[in-house]
Chains A and B, each alone.
Chain A
């Protein structure tokens, strides 16, 4: 059953996954591409510049991981929704077993961009001649990429397992909170002084990205090259 799930999911997203894998492989190379050219000109690499230039690229790593996690998560239930869950209901398996197989199939697909990122990060690290004091972290970057991807995959897998209406309601609540949270804070501060110091949206975001919040893995280091 796992194989069938994997095959079904692969069929669903293969055309989206192939460019994603290319992006995962290419992103670390893009990060160091300018540095490689400079090295080839015979200009020694310079630590401060390397870190500075990499910083502008850092947000692309979590963004790509998020995009891939969301893609794999949302596509996991496409087949079921399209056929009104008839296939799932016709199988002689429990819901738990069915979902577990589906979950593992999606997680397996997440390993493909992870492999691309790992390989790309290693190639990129090998392509630059780092000065003393700086190190490349291709394995750590790729592992963080995998964790972040799986986290978003899990979240959107759960969301997509419900109805579209549920997903829309949830997303609307989140958006309304983010957009109107600041306004609400100001109104509440008139009545309760504690809201002068506590900003609800900031507090919520901090709770989400700090341990034990779910998104802590996104708030760590994403640098391919660091001290």
Chain B
């Protein structure tokens, strides 16, 4: 009885091992097939994007003419902006745009992206929407009551900042050509030139990195490293982030030494832990080894081969340095940021501010540290208010019908 059972167990074991091997082979083949498919599709997508982009550009003028013919709108200029608003609301729109421009963008005297854009202002309940070319910045408001005014002003400001960013990232066509600058990838999202410095302080204080802590402690080199400045060749690339190697593999432009300069081994392990994408494409075993078995060398390998952006200070924090550079440079500084498309972020920042990168980063650091938010700001005023209410409640207790009856 024992021998048949043993034979059966052996047979099952062999079948299972063979099955696993075959499964791994199939998975590897699928990965290769997918990679080949990606290689084939990427150029097609890029061509299609270019075609669409060119078409948008050609259609712009036609759309605008059609829009003017169909809608009862007013067009007016505020600074570099052209705003289109319904006839009945153009007064309010002009007032709000003027306020935003006056308070946040007066230093911007050259911006092809802003000059080219037509800002549409309309109410959400407007029956006939204002028809403009695709991609035009649009500010929709839900009503024109005074209570929402601040919110609408913030929307207008955000829309202008986002549009201005196109000067750097090239999402906008300028003279029929697409612009793309390294500084635009280095400081992405929005050209917010009017920073909330307390918020920036909070971000740098909460950044998990050796160099960010060194920066707070006063180490200028730490600040530059945390900002990703002076790290060549990565800084010189137009594309800020992982690069494609051999047409298919993502590869970080930073080597393991750079990661070690930025992060402690535990911090690197934490990055891997938080990035579950690193467990994809059959790398789960290595990911688990790094995260749960403290295999730091595996963590470093995974980091190097991953898709992600690991400069310690994130995009919004880096944008604050750009804003500081523009502020230091005064009038015309914004245009000097994108004067030469071949510049690295360091060169663009120096050119905009008129300062050396060391002086600029030093000044930025001082500005950020000076804005340390009071963690318990307003404690004593709110405490005093609480005590006022305390005595008010106590005064209520002084009155009692029972007592008076007695």
A interface with B by C-beta (< 8 Å): 43-44, 46-49, 51, 85, 88-89, 95-96, 99-100, 103, 131-135, 137, 140-141, 143-144, 147-148, 150-151, 153-155, 157-158, 161-163, 197, 211-212, 214, 216-217, 219-221, 223, 226-227
Contacts and interface: CB of A to CB of B under 8 A. Distances in A.
Contacts of A197: 143, 145, 147
Shortest beta-carbon contacts, A-B, top 8:
A133-B205, A154-B390, A154-B393, A140-B376, A161-B397, A226-B375, A214-B389, A227-B205
B298 interface: no
Given A88-B403, A131-B213, A143 B383 contact: yes
A47 B213 CA distance: 10
Contacts of A219: 382
Given A46-B266, A46-B270, A95-B398, A227 B372 contact: yes
Given A46-B270, A143-B383, A217-B385, A133 B206 contact: yes
B208 A85 contact: no
Question: Most chain-B Cβ atoms within 10 A of its Cβ — which of A158, A162, A223?
Answer: A158
Interface in B361-406: 372-373, 375-376, 378-379, 381-383, 385-387, 389-394, 396-400, 402-403, 406
Given A46-B208, A46-B267, A211-B385, A103 B394 contact: yes
Contacts of B387: 147, 150
Question: Most chain-A Cβ atoms within 10 A of its Cβ — which of B206, B208, B397?
Answer: B397
A155 B216 CA distance: 44
Main secondary structure of the interface of B (DSSP, over half): helix
A132 B223 CA distance: 14
B217 A43 contact: no
B264 A144 contact: no
B373 A44 contact: no
A145 B385 CA distance: 14
A99 B398 contact: yes
A134 B216 CA distance: 10
A53 to B, nearest CB: 13
A134 B205 contact: yes
A134 B225 CA distance: 21
Contacts of A212: 385
B3 to A, nearest CB: 52
A144 to B, nearest CB: 6
Given A143-B383, A155-B393, A216-B382, A43 B266 contact: yes
B324 to A, nearest CB: 19
A73 B208 CA distance: 45
Given A96-B398, A162-B400, A223-B375, A47 B208 contact: yes
Interface string B188-212: 0000000000000110111110001
A95 B375 contact: no
16 contacts: A43-B266, A44-B264, A44-B266, A46-B267, A47-B206, A132-B213, A133-B216, A140-B376, A147-B386, A150-B390, A154-B393, A197-B143, A212-B385, A220-B378, A221-B375, A227-B372
Given A154-B394, A227-B201, 16 more contacts: A47-B207, A49-B270, A88-B403, A89-B406, A95-B398, A103-B394, A133-B216, A137-B376, A143-B383, A144-B383, A147-B382, A147-B386, A161-B396, A216-B385, A220-B379, A226-B375
Given A47-B205, A48-B206, A217 B382 contact: yes
A17 B236 CA distance: 65
Contacts of A220: 376, 378-379, 382
Contact of A89 (B205, B207, B403): B403
A48 B208 CA distance: 6
Contacts of B385: 211-212, 214, 216-217
A10 to B, nearest CB: 20
A47 B270 CA distance: 12
A146 B201 CA distance: 29
Nearest to B403: A95
Nearest to B378: A220
Question: Most chain-B Cβ atoms within 10 A of its Cβ — which of A100, A154, A162, A221?
Answer: A154
A128 to B, nearest CB: 16
Contact of A148 (B264, B270, B386): B386
Contacts of B267: 44, 46
Nearest to B269: A43
A142 to B, nearest CB: 11
A151 B208 contact: no
Contacts of A154: 389-394
B380 to A, nearest CB: 8
Given A46-B270, A148-B386, A158 B205 contact: no
A49 B383 CA distance: 30
A214 to B, nearest CB: 4
